[in-house]
Structure 1
Amino acid sequence: MPAPHALDQPDRSITMQAAVRLIRLIDVTQAIGLRRSTIYKYIAEGQFPKPVPLGGNRVAWVEQEVQDWIMERIEARDAALTAAL
């Protein structure tokens, strides 16, 4: 039986790369409404996603991880409101 050709199989790495978007600090601060110092404080405390090093002292965040963090805050708020009723 001949070996499968590389083109016969989907390249999952390309699919994964296309699905991941990195955002810079200015985008993170605008999305969550916190300053740089607070973001890095939360990272140090393990309460916020760590950035991805890009090289040259540049970093970015995985957009979905930031969106997930925002949704966790919303869910915590909603749970507190439900518990208060």
Structure 2
Amino acid sequence: MNEVHPHLNRLYRRSELPKYVGLRRTQIDELIKKGEFPRPISLSDAGRAVAWLEADLVAWQIHRLAKRANEAA
């Protein structure tokens, strides 16, 4: 069986984030520290390999869009 589980999220590695969210890595790190960007999940016990869940990134984008709409109103 080669089915994709419907509840699995694509994982985005740190190198992919700038293209996906339009921010530099340093900006992303600053937003994480402020609690304004999703935190990564650890992919290994050592914690060196991390990634972001697509659902978390989509939720962040939706939040940013809602903020823009509220500021325009």
TM-score (norm 2): 0.79
User: Contact 1:23/1:62 (CA < 8 Å) preserved in 2?
Assistant: yes
**Structure with more helix by fraction:** 1
Runs of 4+ with >4 A deviation: none
List runs of 5+ in structure 2 lacking aligned partners: none
Q: What's the RMSD between the two structures over aligned residues?
A: 1.5
How many pairs are equivalent? 67
Instruction: State how far apart, in whole Å, the 2-side matches of 1:28 and 1:68 are.
Output: 14
CA deviations on 1:7-43 (whole Å, 9 max, x unpaired) are xxxxxxx654xx2221111222111111111111111
Identity %: 31
TM-score (norm 1): 0.69
Matched position secondary structure for 1:64:
helix
